Every structure is written in C-alpha cells, then in structure tokens.
Amino acid sequence: MRKAVLWVRRVVAASVFVGFVALFAGCSFKYLAFLAKLQFVPAVLAGSTVVAVATVVATLLFGRIYCGVCCPLGILQDVAFALFKHKSQGVRTKARTIARYAILAAFLAVGLCGFGFSWIEPYGLFGRIVTSLWIALTFGVAIFALAAWRGRVWCNWVCPVGTFLGGLSRRALFKLKIDEAKCIGCKQCERTCRASAIKIDGKGGEIDATLCVQCRDCTVLCPKGAIGSYAKAASEPAEAKTGVTRRSFLVGTAAASAALAAEAADEKIFDGGFADVSDPGIDVRNASLKPAGSHSIKNFQTKCVGCQLCVKACPNKVLRPSVRLKDFGQPEMAFDKGYCTVDCTKCSEVCPAGAIEAIPSFMKENINIGEAVWHKDRCLASTEGVSCTACFRHCPVNAIALVEGPNGARIPVVDADKCIGCGACEHVCPARPLPALTVKAYERHREIWPANIDAN
C-alpha cells in the first residue's frame, strides 16, 4: 500500500511537470492552460475561491501536498535531488525559520503596496526559467544546483508560498509522524529527505510538518515501517528498501532542455506591404503598455506573477518581459515584431492571475489602451516629401486620416477617440531608426462597453 501511494504521487508529479513544460513550450494552450489556473498565488489574485480554498483545505488535511505534486518549481528541485542523490541538510535552524518568515513578510508587503508578486512567486519564476534563456542560466541553474546539493533549499529558505502553506501544515490532520517504538535510529530517512524535514535523535525523532512536502519516500525507505500518518499507526509490514529514483522525471527534464535550446530569434510578423527592411526601433514610452483586458497599468502590475504564459501565447510577438526593477519580468507591449490584431484575445484566455481578464474579441475595438502620436521629424512625408500611406492603409479602426502637408505630401492625423493603441501604425511605419508613429500608453484604459453588454 505504501509503495502504491508513493508511485501515484510520483506519476501525478511527473505528469504535472511535463504538462507545465509543454505548456510553456507552446505545445497546447487549449488543453493545458488549466494547470496554470490551479496555482495558488495566481488563483488568489484572480479571485478563484474554489482553487484557493481547495489548496488550503488539502494543506490542513495532508500538509504541503500542493508543494509536492502541484508546484512545477518544487518538482524541478525534486528532479535535481533525485538525479544526484546527495544528502539533505538534515537539521533545522533558527536562521532558516527567520529567513523564511522575513521573506514571506517582504513578499506580501511588496505585493500589497502595488508592486506585484512576480519576483519570487514559484509558478511565475518557473515560467520565466522555461521561456527565458538568461533566466534559466542564472536563477534556473542556481536553484537546480542547490537542489542537487541539498534538496529543496529554495523551498526551505525563500519560497513564500512554501512558507505560508508550511505554517498551515503545523495543524495538518494526516501529517507524517515517527513511531518511536519501531524506530531503530538508522537515520536513513533523515539523510534522504529532500526537504530536510526529518531529525532523528537516538531511537525516534520528529518530522517538521512546515518543511515536509509529503513525498512519502521515507514511508517506503524505513526498514521497520516506523513512519506513517499517525505515530501509532505505522504498523504495516516493513517494505523492502528501495532507491529514491525519479527516472520518470527524465522525460520532463529532457523536454525542458529542448524547449530552452529551441528558443530562437523572433522574426518580423508583418512587413506592411513594403520590401524587407530592418526592424524598427522601440521608442521610449511614457509608461508601460498593457494589453486590453488588464484595465490599467496598476491593476496589471498588482496581479501579474510574470509567468510569461501570455508571452508564449501571443501569436504576433507583441508581448515581452520587462527588465525594469519596478515590474521585473512582467510582460509589456512592443511593436517591432508585430502588432496587436483586433480579433486576438489569446493573452486574456491563458492568464491565470486575472492580470488580463478575458474579453470577447469583438470588444477590442472599444478598448483604448493608448493612442498613436505622430513625430513630424521622423515621418518620410514631412522630411523627404515621400507619399507614404502605410499607417493609413493598415489602421484597423480607421483612426488615421491623411491631410496635405506644407510640402504637398500627405501627412497622417490621428483621431484619439478612435485609436485603440494596437500598434499597427507603429509597426508598419518604414521610417528608421525609429518609427514616425508611436503609441502613448494610457495609465487607465478607456473601455466603452455597448449598452446591451455586461462589462462584468
């Protein structure tokens, strides 16, 4: 029975890990996007009460089972620990406890002050590791190396979700305990615990429920069957000693490596009907430009966990992660590779945290995320007298008109009430090095919902 439970947990964890790697590799948003919406912090931010409450209830019953089978970053550390089979930390320290709760407090303070939860939220960090090569080579390698050396170091010292759920696990009904009458003090469980949750003292000891991720390896490894859900309930026949391997996870690891290796330079999506030219530069905007459905920059920054799922889902390569400190890793819009088409709502369909709320595609024409601004000193019509009509021809909402300029060439005039900030004009403008039309971001989006449509 113990082995059966152990292998069920392994299969579930392996399936979740492979599913997340496939999701961030862009294999199937339609069938795998639900995995992201089962993550704890995104569910809380999106107001998904069912998922959030279910996670808390499961933790109060079984301990940190969420961390063991649902968190992709936690499972990645298990892969590293299993492959290298090094010893765990084996001891509990006051420094670790202080560090954990200090980081949790800082995480909550930063998030609640409106700066977002994207920095060290585990699901979002895993998404950035899979989708960004430089994040993988820094954060990813560091977390993997620490796990190979001493197990779930990131979970034990840094992860705010692990700390929060660990606090709830103190009261877990079915947390693991050691039957001191059966324990022979061999310390095999202590040496192999990936979470450093077990401390053996003589013949007996304790399992720290705040660290235990319910992998249940110890229940099978113990030669006397001394570990079970209750201290006096570990009376089942001792199982044969088995290795703590994770061969089933090798498929997931290989998939992750392939996804990172396959990251290639994005190509320009639209050329605006002109011959091939160099990509346009990106002007410095007044503020970060966010997609329709996010309502405002503040709402987006508060809820986004920076998982990059919307970046992978964007078919026109408009979204990319910010490198600024105040919204590090959170996606923003740029139009050097493509523009935001009025019939596309892919980003709102996959966002698990409510940073981009789902909207019907026909409503995008009624949501102004910004407005195009004309730069006279860059426009070919005013600087060279060229009759260029690219912006006029490609505006999907007819927000651009052409009027006669001082030198006889027609120049664009933007109707701010019609312009939705899609970036089509900025993308197709042939002016170099910077386009003559750039989108000015609105801090708060202007949303005009028809009278017969419920905005909620």
pLDDT in tens, 353-410: 999 999 988 899 999 999 999 999 999 998 998 889 999 999 999 999 999 988 888 9
pLDDT value at residue 341? 96
- Average pLDDT score over residue span 13-32: 91
| 273 vs 163: which has the higher pLDDT | 163
My answer on whether 218 and 103 are in the same domain is yes
104 domain residue, yes or no: yes
438 domain residue, yes or no: yes
Q: What is the spatial distance between Cα 29 and Cα 37, in angstroms, rounded to a whole number? A: 12
357 domain residue, yes or no: yes
My answer on whether 98 and 222 are in the same domain is yes
| Band of residue 249 on the pLDDT scale cut at 50, 70, 90 | very low
258 domain residue, yes or no: no
My answer on whether 324 and 380 are in the same domain is yes
237 domain residue, yes or no: yes
pLDDT value at residue 247? 44
290 domain residue, yes or no: no
Rounded to 10°, the helix 122-131/250-261 angle is 60
Residue 57's φ and ψ, nearest 5 degrees, are -65, -45
Residue 79, Cα to own-chain centre: how many angstroms? Answer: 19
Residue 224 pLDDT > 50: yes
Q: Is the dihedral of CA 47, 51, 54, 58 positive or negative?
A: negative
pLDDT value at residue 101? 94
Please write the tens of the pLDDT for every residue from 44-76: 999 999 999 999 999 999 999 999 999 999 999
Among the three residues 226, 251, 276, which one is the final residue of a domain in this structure? 251
Please write the tens of the pLDDT for every residue from 191-204: 889 999 999 988 88
pLDDT value at residue 304? 96
**Average of per-residue pLDDT values in the chain:** 86
pLDDT value at residue 116? 86
Pair of tokens at residue 35: 């995995």
Residue 24 pLDDT > 50: yes
pLDDT value at residue 231? 37
454 domain residue, yes or no: no
DSSP string, 186-246: --HHHHH-TT--EEE-SS-EEE-TTT-----HHHHH-TT--EESSTT---SPPPPP-----
Residue 135, Cα to own-chain centre: how many angstroms? Answer: 12
My answer on whether 201 and 317 are in the same domain is no
| Band of residue 15 on the pLDDT scale cut at 50, 70, 90 | very high
| Band of residue 1 on the pLDDT scale cut at 50, 70, 90 | confident
pLDDT value at residue 260? 42
pLDDT value at residue 89? 55
My answer on whether 323 and 210 are in the same domain is no
pLDDT value at residue 239? 38
Please write the tens of the pLDDT for every residue from 394-419: 999 999 999 998 888 899 999 999 99
pLDDT value at residue 352? 96
Query: Domain containing 347 — which CATH number?
Result: 3.30.70.20
| Structural domain of 301 | 297-447
In the chain, how many domains are there?
Answer: 2
What 3-state class would DSSP assign to 76? helix
My answer on whether 185 and 321 are in the same domain is no
- Average pLDDT score over residue span 27-42: 91
pLDDT value at residue 204? 85
pLDDT value at residue 387? 84
| 141 vs 270: which has the higher pLDDT | 141
Report the share of the chain in percent with pLDDT over 70.
85
My answer on whether 196 and 108 are in the same domain is yes
Residue 455 pLDDT > 70: no
My answer on whether 209 and 354 are in the same domain is no
| 88 vs 184: which has the higher pLDDT | 184
Q: What is the spatial distance between Cα 439 and Cα 456, in angstroms, rounded to a whole number? A: 27
456 domain residue, yes or no: no
- Average pLDDT score over residue span 165-189: 93
